[in-house]
Each structure stands twice: as structure tokens, then as C-alpha cells.
Amino acid sequence: MEVMEPKFANIDDVINQTFDYVVVGGGVYYYVSFVNQIIPDHPSFPQVSGCVLASRLSEKSDIRVILLEAGKGRTNDPLIDTPCGGARGYQLGNSEYDWAFQTAPQKNLNGRSMVWNRGKGLGGSSNLNQLAWTRPGPAEIDSWEKLGNAGWSYKDIIPYIQKVENFQTPPSADIVKSKLLAENQHWFGKNGPISLAYCEVLTGLDGVLRTPLGDYTGFWSCPSTMDPEKLERCTAFKGYIQPNLDRKNLFVLPEAYVTKLIWKNDSKPDANEEITAEGVQFVFGGKIFMIHAAKEVLLTAGIIRSALKSPQILELSGIGSSNVLNPLGIPVLVDLPGVGENLQDHYCANTITFELDPTGPHRTLDVLFDPVEYEKQDGFYKQKQRGLLSYTNTDVLFPSLQLISPNAENIIALHEKVLANLITTMDADSDMFKGLKERLDIQLERLKDHNFPHFAIFFIPSFMDFPNMPIPDKMYLSVLIILAGTWSIGSAHISSMDPLKSPNLDGNVLEYQIELDALTEVFKFARQLKDCEPLKSIIIKEVAPGEKILTDEQIHGRVSDTSGTASMLPREKRGVVDPSLRNYKRSSMRSFDFSVARKCTF
């Protein structure tokens, strides 16, 4: 049966038009189903995307909604649809799929710049992520409420996370056994738009570590955001927008790059006066257009955990720190120093890759490097038969620092002294102090908790030491290490009035010694796994990084997953939005992407 291409809006249908809601950015879904005050009686959640907002708002036929997305709207694209899409050719670094933001040189990485990969197009980073469906735990979500955001506790949010989920119970007892699935399937929602399923392709390496380590730590196999019948990735676009494109009141315009917000009164307001957003300016086909909002402009341009574009749009629109805007000649409408600040991320250490015994009862994705085997697997996939191209890897170990390192207590004690000295050097009455002190206290409490996961360790049945290539006919297992609880805070600010120029991104990576110490310890732990069963029996040797990384100083790693640049905090703590996601001193405009999430780890 021929698949019908979705019908997007035409530029002539939308220019100079007025819509009830203008939604900027069509990125990832992450846990959101409802919007407070816009759709009454349902709380909102900071990881909401434009796809979710546009879908939910347009459920009411008398509400006109337009969704503007800077990237393309892609359908039936094998690079997106195929769960093991990397085997077909990587999206990462491909400008058609990936924004590939480049950071400023990082002083703690010997001046090295990094690339932050972020999905480009309708669906955002749900088009190119690992498909692993994870949730923050109670302590992490409750932190938002502790920082002054009433109504944002774990018990408040979980019911709405479940409304996103459409969990598919595995039909095979072997899958349940190999993945160590929980008996209580009610933990997941079953009626949402995002399909969740466990991969039904077994490699023999599933669940290589199976030890329960506590209530909140240990090994887990996450479900994947995929349709188990179609064997396709389920993106925010597929779940929320594509089924609803026939709505007469929903307009979706890809390749519309929003450059600034339009204010009802573009003069600087009085001290107690709000300014009102009445529309946006955007570039389409090389030309500048405007559309208007009768009710609100909803800014969701900070794709999942990137939060990189929303502050750029705010600053170009006159909302931000006068120290940033004045030198560029941008009139300051609201002097809000928190815009572009509070950027946080997860650090990823270099992957460790082991060579496996080829005679063992396992198989790996490395066979896909063989053109003959690839064609065989591709044939399976095209016939909707399960094979390596429908494989997803979501096996992850969540350990604490205390579990993986005998040096944990000394490292924590030293870090606590550093923090105490830092606090004594700050002005206790300053806005920066108020927000920083509360955040550091919460993080230190978590760090001391031996049952709190400080790392995520993924086990990937494939060679991962790129740009090097695997040796033909060899099999590999790679271990990917992520520091989930980071301390350093960076920033994302404009450096030019050119809206098409990427913002100046500074992750301020490894600003705290605890981060480097923790990465060093978990790297050593992961490296030693080859000497422990069950891995000891199947690993021949470590092939990467090998002797290239031996000393503590050589263990730094890559960096990913930014958040926090338009923080949901009280304004006096350098926040940008309040608990209803309204931007301070701006009416008819809210931020709904992950830029509002201040310190939600993993």
C-alpha cells in the first residue's frame, strides 16, 4: 500500500495571518502531555516540545495553531525510521539532520572545542537519539519543587509522563527473561501517542550485568521509543503531529527559521509593566515574514536537553542581560540576567571497546560492516522481519560513586571543603548566591547518598572506537560512560545580531575537580569489568583506548546533553520563567523546552 506524504502548510497560507497560538520549534516529546492554563486543569512539564503543544492545543477545533520548525519535515526516511539507523549512514554531523553546535574552546579541555549534536527537523532529537526511554527519579524531579517551583514534584508529574506512553507488553517470555523486565507493567502508561517497546532481537549480551544494587541504582533494560509492529522509531512528529495533520485548525510549516519575537510595545516597560508578545519574525526561503498570535507565543526552540536556541531568540528580541545586549546595540526591553545562563550537561568519557571471543554464544552489530551480511539484514528489515537493523540497545547500569570507587569518601570530603570555601567568597545577598547555594546543597546531598546513581554505563554490542575501523570478522563490546550528576555551569549567548549565526556556547566543562575525579574513578571501574564474570569469560582484550589512556590526567571524555539556559527558578535566583513557564515581565509568551530545567540529572 502506498504511503501518503503528509501535507504541510504553504507559506502563502500563513504569512501575515493571526493564529491563537504560535509555537516555535517542533522538537522532542519528552514526558509531556498537558499544558497548564492553556488546556485547563492539566499541569505542564518543562520538557514539553512544540509537537506536543501543537497537537494538544489543536484538539479544540476553534483554536488556530501554527507550528514553526527550522528544519525539514521528513517522512519515510530510513536514517530516521530504522532503529539501528547508524548502520545505514550516520545522521550525526550531517547538516540535513543535525545542528551540530560547536562550543567555544574549553579551558579545562586544553582549548578543545566540542560538537553538541542536536536533531534538526520535525521531531528534533527524537529523530537521532538512542531510543532509550528513561525517566528522572523522584529525587531529581522533586528538586525543581525544592528550588521554589510549587506543583513540580514527582507525584505531580508522573501521571502525565504516563499519558505520553503507549507501552507494548513483550509477547515473548524469552524477552522478559533476558531483559529482566519488572513484573509490574503498570509502571508505564498504555494509551499515549509514543510507542514504547522492548527490543525483541537478542544478541546474547543482553543484561551482561544483572546485580540489583539498591532501590534506585543497578542494572536496567530501558524500553525503546519504537513501534514493534512496523519496526520503526517513534518520534515526536510521528506520535503527535503526523496523525493530526488533517485538522483544519493546525498549520505546520517546516524550514521556517524564527529570528525574533514581535512585541506589542517595543519600548522599554516601566518597572511594574509587562511587555506583550504578539507574534514572531521568521525566515523562509531566504525571505523574512511575520505572523501574529492572538493569545500566546510558545517558545520551544531548545531541543531536548540542548536549550541552545531559545535564549538566542530571547536575546535577539531584547530579553536578556544588558551586559550581553548593549554591546551589540540591541535595545534592552527586560534586563533578565538569567537568560542564557545555568547551562548544564552530562559528561561522557571515552568509550572503552573490548574484543570478544568469536566462539561465544553471542553476536554483535559488527557483522553489518560486511556488505553481504548487511544486505541480508536489510532484506529482513524490508520484509518487517526482526533482525539486526531493528535492534535497539538500552542496557544500562546506574551505579553510585560509593559503589564503584574505594576512594569515594575522600573525594566527597575534599569536594565538600571546596564548596564551603566557594560559598564564603560570595556575596550572601546576591542573586547568584541564592540560587547557587540551594543547588549545591541539593547536589551534595545526592553525592553523599550511596543509593543515588551518579553514573550511567551503557553496554553496546559493537565496535565504537571511531574514526578507527574494526577488524573484519571480529566481534566487540563497547562500554559508554556518562557522568549523570554534573556540577559545572556554562552559558549560551549571542555574539552577533545575525540570527543565523550560532550562539556562543560555553559548557565550562570540568570546572569542578569532583567531575574529573568521578570520571576517572568510573573509567577505572568500567575498564576492570573485563576481569569479572560474566565478561571475563568472553572478553579477549581491551582494544580501545588501550595504552592511549593510562593516567588519570588522560581521562577527560566528551560532553553532551545541555540544559538550564532559561531556568525555571524564582527571578531573584536568576531564573527566567516561573512555575507556569511564563517568562518574567513578558505576557503572552512562554518557554516550554528543556531550557527551563535547572539541574535535572539523567
Residue ranges of the annotated binding site for FAD are: 258
Q: Which residues pair with 224 in a beta bridge?
A: 132, 197
Q: Contact at 8 Å (CB) between 563 and 307?
A: yes
Q: Does the N-terminal peptide bond of residue 545 adopt cis geometry, omega within 30 degrees of 0? A: yes
Q: Which letter does DSSP use for residue 110 in this model? A: T
Distance CA 346, CA 488 (A): 10
> How many CB atoms lie under 10 A from the CB of residue 602?
19
3-state secondary structure 383-412: CCCCCHHHCCCCEEEECCHHHHCCCHHHHH
Residue corresponding to grid cell 534592552: 332
Q: Contact at 8 Å (CB) between 492 and 311?
A: yes
Q: Which letter does DSSP use for residue 307 in this model? A: -
- State the DSSP string of 447-515: HH-TTS--EEEEEESS---TTS-PPTT-EEEEEEEEE-S----BEEE-SSS-TTSPPEEE--TT-SHHH
φ and ψ of 392, to 5 deg: -125, 145
φ and ψ of 514, to 5 deg: -60, -35
Q: Does the N-terminal peptide bond of residue 534 adopt cis geometry, omega within 30 degrees of 0? A: yes
Angle at alpha carbon of residue 230, lines to 229 and 234, rounded to 5°: 105
Annotated binding site: 258
Distance CA 595, CA 339 (A): 9
Distance CA 52, CA 511 (A): 35
> How many CB atoms lie under 10 A from the CB of residue 88?
18
